[in-house]
Structure 1
């Protein structure tokens, strides 16, 4: 339904359920309208029509969707040798800039990185003939509307604009009225599929306790005929925790969420597509447009925020005519939220049945064999796991890709850790010169000069303060007293007016001060340490002389 209208250059608003092929619905017209060298050879275009600047732009909300759309367009445009480039954050700028310099026909990117490159004049948008906003409603939900409007203002006025999404709220329609010219709204539905959800997806809604969800999930993942499975969580912390618990229970699980670096996110998705991992725990960053063949089960570990999120989550299974199973675990606190979703989608699960990991109806409805426990048997642990997929070095920004040492120290070039010796200590000199002597034989660490304050007048509390100064080349510390006692440590003295002058000059040399200190008591005990004393309030410091 879309191709005849889009191939003529008209603006299109495409709306269809998940898994119905929207990517090729706008991808094929883009590839057909791009002018390449084969068109010049065939006489359909002139050499003046060729350019290295992008001729088509596709804006997507997430990085994962960006890579998937890029791969689909590269596959479809391979015969015509169409150059397609993915531009998104989390990767180094240099490879993307080099690819733009060599020449690109179609650019697929996220709004943030597109604006960065356009602002640096690395990306020329003046030759764009076709613009596509994929998952337009999601970009509005994520707050991308100002960025999208900035991108649209950089494009030529005489372009073709196409919007595609499974859900079209009123904001998307208002956006279309501002930036599109007499668009054709195409809504594709199957004759026997009247509901909002895909008919080939079997839905199960259970009221579950939060402390029993992991045990239920482990048994659901052992259902008969279960292939690849996607687990959706509401928060990043929950997704990481569920992935770790499933790994400890023997499942080959990976995680995709915003706290991971781009290399780790793409590693998990590649392992999931290649079959090395059969359970992908993710947040809603993977709920839009991700198309993986063989996904049979989708589990909403936490109740989605709204009906649009629910539709996109369960749309990861039952794609392209296949069948799938969607399970939603609703906590007691989320019952009101689920009832709103149920009413908006006109479903029949207003009061979910209370279910636990040992409930018989859970085993019956999901076809779980009797005797299954929450731990995957060792005989069934046949997947290679996430570690079998290598992490690609993407030159990530923000320092997420830096490797840390085994002891947890900082990366090379940063501030040295304690294990390697602190640059502030004087022991590094002895280490560099190869000194192996005892502590007394090593050179004494120099002390920094300190500002002295003579007690010319007491402060508000009636206390005069005297600080003792010691330079870097001062005399060594006084020798230890008789016996095994340790040498005394010098401290600041408060209120001892005999050691300071009223003019604020520095105190006597450390050697004279050491001679004035009381001698150690007999018997080899440590000398009494000087303590701070407080001068009575109102008593002035002694005058000079």
Structure 2
């Protein structure tokens, strides 16, 4: 018999809120994590992007806090750490949506860097039940005595692998030192590199292990996503992108590029072609990031050109397409990127541009993710560049990157080989 939200131990106000938002049935991660969190156990959970991890920890936290009033109004009872501002804000919105029908409101405060700290300090006056934070800004607020962490009952590390990838290891250790020894720990991560695995083993006490789907599994990409690999010359990618948007009539498309410079460069070219496009990267002001993201979600922007800051955590309802203008560095990041579409059972398409330089790199991505995609060629965009042989067996995935001289030598060798045919 399939689980229901009611069978997981959630109270009527939470069930009503879920019904208001058309949550029909719990996802696998929710079915397993919610009872474990309600029991008070530590949880070590792995699940693919878009699997419903936020509800898996937010719902039981709200349930527990609603039945046990705070002994002191100024104490933080639950702390949720997230790697990016956008994910922190999204978690805060979800908690509000899940808990708005509770008889006694659960106060949630979201704090992150890139904006003035003063409004966040004002929001913390009078106390708060739940804090959702990025690590750096949380420590800034602690240093200013705006909040204390000595009474935290539940700690959540969301997207733990990204916390390490973005260089938050030192900040994370400082935060852990401020927490009480007796607390519940919930660790959610899509992948478990050595640093995260070591943290989990040191942090968690007899945890409930949950693994819904590993990002390294062949079935990690949702079946709702149609994956395409299109061969094209490096210099014609923007023209091809325009053509695909127009021919497929994509109302919105999220385009991933390698650097913040390329976000502005590609966005400028698309705007000149008459498309509503904007950049999105980590060094934009928080105001600009928030505005561009909201415009994209609401349909005022048609194309959002982003670095991998948008590859995790962003939940964009009804996003029809994702394009890998530049391929990601790692196979796991490929899955995170394409997971922005095809969410909640909706259909989506993920397109990857394959150039002569990235031909072998994409084969590594396919192999690691159990994929074998047909190479497409679009009429008028057939590539003529010579495929550059790999200089090492890793194909450049998180390993040694070929220099410009190496690439030039490889291209010359390929050209000589062609002459001899």
TM-score (norm 1): 0.61
After superposition, residues 226-241 of structure 1 pair within 5 angstroms as 226-241=250-265
Instruction: State the secondary structure of the residue aligned to 1:158.
Output: coil
Q: Paired residue for 1:332?
A: 356
C-alpha distance in 2 between matches for 1:293 and 1:217: 22
Once the two structures are superposed, what CA deviation does each residue of 1:442-497 show, in whole Å capped at 9, x if it has no partner? xxxxxxxxxxxxxxxxxxxxxxxxxxxxxxxxxxxxxxxxxxxxxxxxxxxxxxxx
- Compute the displacement of 1:360 (Å): 8.4
The structure with more radius of gyration: 1
CA–CA distance in structure 1, aligned partners of residues 191 and 205 of structure 2: 21
Paired residues of 1:303 and 1:331 also in contact (CA < 8 A)? no
Q: Which has the higher contact order (CA 8 A, sep 6+)?
A: 2
User: Match for 1:73 among 86, 95, 99?
Assistant: 95
- Indicate which of 20, 31, 55 corresponds to 2:51: 20
* Whole-angstrom distance in 2 between the partners of 1:201 and 1:137: 24
Three-state SS of the structure 1 residue aligned to 2:37 is: helix
| Contact kept in structure 1, 2:213 and 2:220, CA below 8 Å | no
Q: 1:56 aligns with which of 56, 74, 78?
A: 78
- 1:116 is aligned, of 116, 134, 140, to 140
Once the two structures are superposed, the pairs formed by residues 84-233 of structure 1 within 5 Å of their partners are 84-189=108-213, 195-224=219-248, 226-233=250-257
Partner of 2:125, secondary structure, is: helix
Q: Could you tell me whether the CA contact under 8 Å between 1:219 and 1:357 is conserved in 2? A: no
1:308 counterpart = 2:339: no
Does 2:51 correspond to 1:29?
no
Offset from partner CA, 1:405-464 (integer Å, 9 cap, x none) = xxxxxxxxxxxxxxxxxxxxxxxxxxxxxxxxxxxxxxxxxxxxxxxxxxxxxxxxxxxx
Determine helix, strand or coil for the equivalent of 2:148: coil
Q: How far apart are the structure 2 equivalents of 1:308 and 1:346? A: 12
Q: 39, 54, 62: which is aligned to 1:8? A: 39
Alignment partner of 1:262 is 2:286: yes
Distance 2:139 2:364 in 1: 37
**31 and 357 in structure 1: CA distance in 2 versus 1, 3 angstrom threshold:** farther
Q: 1:356 deviation in Å?
A: 5.3
* Higher fraction of helix: 2
Please report the TM-score for the alignment, with normalisation by the length of structure 2. Answer: 0.79
Cα offsets for 1:88-147 (capped at 9, x unmatched): 001111111111122211111111111111122222101111111111111111121221
Counterpart CA distance in 2 for 1:292 and 1:117 is 30
How far the C-alpha of 1:166 sits from its partner, in A, is 2.3
| Count of aligned pairs | 348
**Contact 1:243-1:255 within 8 A present in 2 as well:** yes
Taking the aligned partners of 2:261 and 2:283, their CA distance within structure 1 comes to 9
Within 5 Å, which residues of 2 pair with 1:251-400? 251-349=275-373, 352-353=375-376, 355=377, 358-359=380-381
Could you list the runs of 4 or more consecutive aligned residues of structure 1 that deviate by over 4 angstroms after TM superposition? none
Structure 2 stretches lacking a partner, 5+ long: 1-31, 384-421
Look up the SS of the partner of 1:265 in the other structure. Answer: helix
> In structure 2, how many angstroms separate the alpha carbons of the residues matched to 1:9 and 1:96?
30
